[in-house]
Amino acid sequence: RKRIVAFRRLNQEQLTQLRQHYDVDFFEHHEDADSPAFHAALAKAHGLITAGLKVTPQLIDSAPHLETIASISVGYDNYPLATLNERNILLCNTPDVLTETTADTGFLLIMATARRAIELASWVKDGHWKSSIGPDLFGSDVHGKTLGMVGFGRIGAAIARRGSLGFGMQIRYTMASPKPELEKELGAQRLSLQELLATSDFVCVSVPLNADTEKLIDSAALKRMKPNGILINISRGKVIDEQALIEALNTGQIGAAGLDVFEQEPLPVESPLPYMPNVVALPHIGSATHETRAAMAQRAVDNMLLALAGSNPISPVNPEVLTRRASV
């Protein structure tokens, strides 16, 4: 029997499903990744199902039998793709099942920042609500405003759909290749990043992290935003230069930021971001609902079962590995 290492987030049913065909070593907690037992299991594993594990080329070297990795995430910046391709290791991710939930999180940040919801809820909790509030505590409208999507993939489009259909927002996007269907569906307009930054009330970052997108939103980009512009990030923290963002927020160069992701996670205690009144900082909850996390784990299990059985998985990241395998 082949062996699978499962790292976090699988439920009993999913483990039972895997154990019908394979021997499974399950490591439930994040700290387990540092244990000798985890490394010993990896040395024998053919499959690895994981969430939130930083997979280095060294880790791959220590797993000589590894054939397939099923990530419980859509993003795959945690994996050394070149090393995986060299070793012909298949990587699968979990697109689609988290799209709507992550888009909900994006919209939550849009609403919370614009209407200052978290700041004002704390204000009520702290006993300050003595008379009706004045303009110093007003927010700004969301409906009818301009929403600029940096990245217009599945999740970006789902956020834009909410903005357009639910809130009458004008949608702009920036992306290397045009999306004519979405332009038609949402009246979305494709702009350069520079134009989008300068003309959007909300700039929402929804791109995968890679060499092209790292620090895409730097100090120059932030300077281009409208003075009351609101920056939202539901993708990866490293797409934004966080130090430049802190400065832009402190100096009033931009209005506010709604952030679900950070350069370093968990957010270091010394980060000023959660304490800034014009910031809503969430602990990377993009896909974190019971329903969606269960669906993501199930997708990873399904991908693993299909791949180890020699069939095509549902969502491979590097399907060229399958083609190469078929030709030998």
Which residue from 72, 249, 256, 307 is in contact with ligand 8YV, where contact means CB under 6 A? 72
Binders in 26-65 for ligand 8YV, by CB under 6 A:
51-52
Whether residue 46 lies in the annotated active site: no
Q: What is the CA radius of gyration of the chain?
A: 22
Measured from the CB of residue 99, what is the shortest distance to ligand 8YV in angstroms?
Answer: 10
User: Could you say whether residue 297 binds ligand 8YV (CB under 6 A)?
Assistant: no
Q: What is the DSSP letter of 164?
A: I
Residue 126 phi/psi, 5-degree rounding, is -80, 5
Specify whether the CB–CB gap between 107 and 159 falls below 8 A.
yes
User: Could you say whether residue 73 binds ligand 8YV (CB under 6 A)?
Assistant: yes
User: Could you say whether residue 213 binds ligand 8YV (CB under 6 A)?
Assistant: no
DSSP strand E in 142-212: where? 146-150, 170-174, 189-190, 202-205
Measured from the CB of residue 286, what is the shortest distance to ligand 8YV in angstroms?
Answer: 5
- Region of 54-62, 66-74, 147-155, 304-312 interacting with ligand 8YV (CB under 6 A): 66-74
Question: Based on the number of CB atoms within 10 Å of its own CB, is 141 exposed (0-12), middle (13-18) or buried (19 or more)?
Answer: exposed
**Torsion sign, CA atoms 309, 315, 318, 324:** positive
Measured from the CB of residue 266, what is the shortest distance to ligand 8YV in angstroms?
Answer: 12
Collapsing DSSP states into helix, strand and coil, what is residue 69?
A: strand
Token pair for 8: 């976090």
User: Could you say whether residue 286 binds ligand 8YV (CB under 6 A)?
Assistant: yes
Token pair for 210: 């890679």
User: Could you say whether residue 74 binds ligand 8YV (CB under 6 A)?
Assistant: yes
**Percent helix / strand / coil, the chain, rounded to 5:** 40, 15, 45
Residues that bind ligand 8YV (rule: CB under 6 A) add up to a total of: 9
Of 9, 236, 293, 299, the catalytic one is 236
187-190, long-range: CB < 8 A, 24+ apart: 188/149, 188/152, 188/160, 188/164
Q: Which is nearer to ligand 8YV, 75 or 274 (CB)?
A: 75
Q: Which of 190, 252, 258, 253 is nearest to 221 (CA)?
A: 253
Whether residue 236 lies in the annotated active site: yes
Of 265, 320, 324, 325, the catalytic one is 265
Residue nearest to ligand 8YV (CB): 75
Q: Which is nearer to ligand 8YV, 73 or 206 (CB)?
A: 73
Site string for ligand 8YV, 88-127 (x = CB under 6 A): ----------x-----------------------------
Q: Which is nearer to ligand 8YV, 164 or 292 (CB)?
A: 292
CA atoms within 13 A on the CB side of 122: 9
Whether residue 8 lies in the annotated active site: no
Token pair for 1: 């029997």
User: Could you say whether residue 287 binds ligand 8YV (CB under 6 A)?
Assistant: yes
- Region of 19-27, 36-44, 67-75, 223-231 interacting with ligand 8YV (CB under 6 A): 67-75
Measured from the CB of residue 285, what is the shortest distance to ligand 8YV in angstroms?
Answer: 9
Collapsing DSSP states into helix, strand and coil, what is residue 238?
A: helix
Collapsing DSSP states into helix, strand and coil, what is residue 80?
A: coil
What distance in Å separates the CA atoms of residue 224 and residue 194, rounded to the nearest whole number? 7
User: Could you say whether residue 307 binds ligand 8YV (CB under 6 A)?
Assistant: no
Binders in 222-251 for ligand 8YV, by CB under 6 A:
none
Tell me which residues touch ligand 8YV (CB under 6 A): 51-52, 72-75, 98, 286-287
Active site residues: 236, 265, 284
